Chains A and B, each alone.
Chain A
Amino acid sequence: MPKRRDIVAIVLIVLPWTLLITVWHQSTITPLLATRKGKNIFAINIYHNDRRDGRSKSRNTFAFKESCSLQNRDIVEVVRTEYVYSRPPPWSDTLPTIHVVTPTYSRPVQKAELTRLANTLLHVPNLHWILVEDSQRRSTLVSRLLQETAVNYTHLNVETPRNYKVRGDTRDPRIPRGTIQRNLALRWLRESFRVNSSQPGIVYFADDDNTYSLELFEEMRSTKKVSVWPVAFVGGLRYESPKVNTLGKVYGWKTVFDPHRPFAIDMAGFAVNLRLILSKPQAYFKLRGVKGGYQESSLLKELVTLSDLEPKAANCTKVLVWHTRTEKPVLVNEGKKGFTDSNVEI
């Protein structure tokens, strides 16, 4: 009896099956994805907790895995956290979801900006925060911040290629900041939701340094196609706003800076119904060849015409969002080597 042949035979039988089983097992935990620039596991966390004063004990997480090789997908992971200081209002099955798209990039005030934006968003029911980092991989700072806050979120990232990045700190209006990130969020939305799904939703592009009143979110919830409203501190004015006639239709723009743009409005001044985004899958923010101030128009002209716009905020007479900008902090005392401990996260 040639022992070697037996052994070889047994190995040849067992080896493929063990390989298969290990790979299969692996894929249930971390599915392998087709390599695409900037996409990793997306997680939607849905919270169904009531607002309570002070702490709460647990929170549940659903993890959706976007790409998979298996036909059977399980809902994985119930995460319990120790200390969450506040909660969003309970999820309602009747209110449309507001998907807030925020591009962000690393700089000293990033954590502060995201903290206070999260504090604002925590008051809004049925809100889904889509945070898109301008980075090669998702940073621990943002991941930790999102995990500790109780907001319903999706964390994405895509790095702006160097030739598109703003050189130094000079604001070159020809290179729109955050465009690639917003487009990624649009693509994510189109891949996650089906056109004929009955889940109503609104998409709003919110920069991390602006200030939003809570009333604004309730105004935009009733958007059928695209709704618009005034924005403070843009265009070198106290506020810019759409011009609304007595019939409640938008017919122009009350701006000084190029009022003849198709949509002379700031990113924070409009919201789009999710169904419209899904039904026009080619509509994205134009990246190249966009003049300063035309970025919003590059998206909106593919979605809607001027007469379809819905004016909100009492026929565009109230200011509910402010285009605040945070000063760059003076860090002169850090010196070349850095005076403070770099392990402390700010």
Chain B
Amino acid sequence: MKLKLKTVFVLYFMVSLLGLVYALMQLGQRCDCSEHDLPKDRTISRLRGELHRLQEQMRKSDVTKQPQKQPAKPTIFVITPTYARLVQKAELTRLSQTFLHVPQLHWIVVEDSPHKTPLVTDLLVKSGLTYTHLHMPTAKDRKLQEGDPRDNQQGVIYFADDDNTYSLQIFEEMRSTQRVSVWPVGLVGGMKYERPVVEGGKVVRFHTGWRPSRPFPMDMAGFAVSLKLVLANPEACFDGEAPMGFLESSFLQGLVTMDELEPKADNCSKVLVWHTRTEKPKMKREEALQAQGLGSDRAVEV
């Protein structure tokens, strides 16, 4: 009897061991179960799509039944100066692609040109954005112009150069601006980022590597002003003759003091906008061809 039990145990142990080894071997292998799963997953994705469609329909019918008046979000007025150069269309294109994601945004494009160019006009029309198209040759003083802001309209003004990069979050951060709000800007001032230093919820100084003694040592892309404040100070404008780097200060000095600044982007600890610059495309061959009268077709807009 004893022997039988022993062999049973030994057999059992061997079988389990073999089974374990087999399973361990299997784990390293790939299975091609992809064929089986794709139709299943496709069905699931199709059903999910239908579900969402039905949900959307329900929501629409609810809305028509009770038209709710939601408080309007403050409009963000984005002012972009632009000038004609090779990369202009590309820059404005990708800028418009970013802005399309932001609700309640009004794009004010100011061309540095004696008249409105068809390139920018067409681009704005096709963009699908709410916009105002202005133009003026480089003026000594840049005065602010909005497209008919009403007195009780809530709004925020932001100066956005056409070669910077903006994340979508920065627009939601600036929407709640009461006077002037600030945040870090990446890749500017010869550093990875420049930012206001926040202590106790207030801006105490600025972290910058270049001329920190300026009244407001920050980049144009690092602040936004509430519409109310600008309309209340009709004399505030950018001093085009200010020394380099003092442009922002020349504007903000008349509007706000440092402790009135509202820090955004998680107490100015996140970088949500980058001061990227686009290389000038190399045109040596183009210029050589043009000298021979064989330049590329001018009718093709680039």
Residues of A within 8 A of B (CB): 9, 12-13, 16-17, 19-20, 23-24, 27, 31-34, 46, 48-50, 53-54, 60, 62, 64, 66-71, 73, 75, 85-86, 90-91, 93, 108-109, 111-113, 115-116, 119-120, 122-123, 192, 194, 197, 199, 211-214, 230, 232-233, 235-239, 254, 256-257, 317-319, 322-327, 329-334, 338-340, 344-346
Is B232 an interface residue, CB under 8 A from the partner? Answer: no
Near A by CB (< 8 A), chain B positions 286-302 give 286, 288-289, 295-296, 300-302
Q: Are B94 and A211 in contact (CB under 8 A)?
A: yes
| Residue from A75, A115, A199, A214 whose CB has the most chain B CB atoms within 10 Å | A115
Q: Are A237 and B286 in contact (CB under 8 A)?
A: yes
Q: Are A62 and B41 in contact (CB under 8 A)?
A: yes
* Contacts A12-B9, A211-B94, A333-B209 given; does A68 touch B33 at CB 8 Å: yes
Once bound together, how far apart are the Cα atoms of A67 and B29, in whole Å? 7
Q: Are A340 and B284 in contact (CB under 8 A)?
A: no
**What are the 10 A-B residue pairs with the smallest beta carbon separation, nearest first?**
A333-B209, A236-B285, A333-B190, A112-B274, A322-B90, A16-B16, A233-B281, A86-B101, A112-B165, A329-B187
Is B135 an interface residue, CB under 8 A from the partner? Answer: no
Once bound together, how far apart are the Cα atoms of A13 and B195, in whole Å? 65
Given A68-B30, A323-B281, A324-B90, 9 additional A-B pairs, CB 8 A = A34-B28, A54-B103, A73-B33, A237-B283, A319-B301, A322-B93, A324-B91, A346-B193, A346-B271
Q: Are B269 and A344 in contact (CB under 8 A)?
A: yes
Q: Are B296 and A237 in contact (CB under 8 A)?
A: yes
Cβ contacts B203-217/A at 8 Å (1 or 0 each): 000010110000000
Q: Are A119 and B31 in contact (CB under 8 A)?
A: no
Chain A residue at minimum C-beta to C-beta distance from B168: A85
Between-chain CB contacts (< 8 Å), 11 pairs: A13-B12, A33-B28, A50-B56, A115-B166, A116-B98, A211-B94, A322-B90, A333-B191, A339-B209, A344-B195, A344-B269
Q: Are B285 and A256 in contact (CB under 8 A)?
A: yes
Chain A residue at minimum C-beta to C-beta distance from B126: A215
Cβ contacts B175-204/A at 8 Å (1 or 0 each): 000000000101111111101000000000
Is B141 an interface residue, CB under 8 A from the partner? Answer: no
Once bound together, how far apart are the Cα atoms of A233 and B103, in whole Å? 33
Q: Are B26 and A69 in contact (CB under 8 A)?
A: yes
Once bound together, how far apart are the Cα atoms of A301 and B269, in whole Å? 50
Chain A residue at minimum C-beta to C-beta distance from B21: A16
Residues of A within 8 A of B235 (CB): none
Q: Are B165 and A115 in contact (CB under 8 A)?
A: yes
Q: Are B191 and A339 in contact (CB under 8 A)?
A: yes
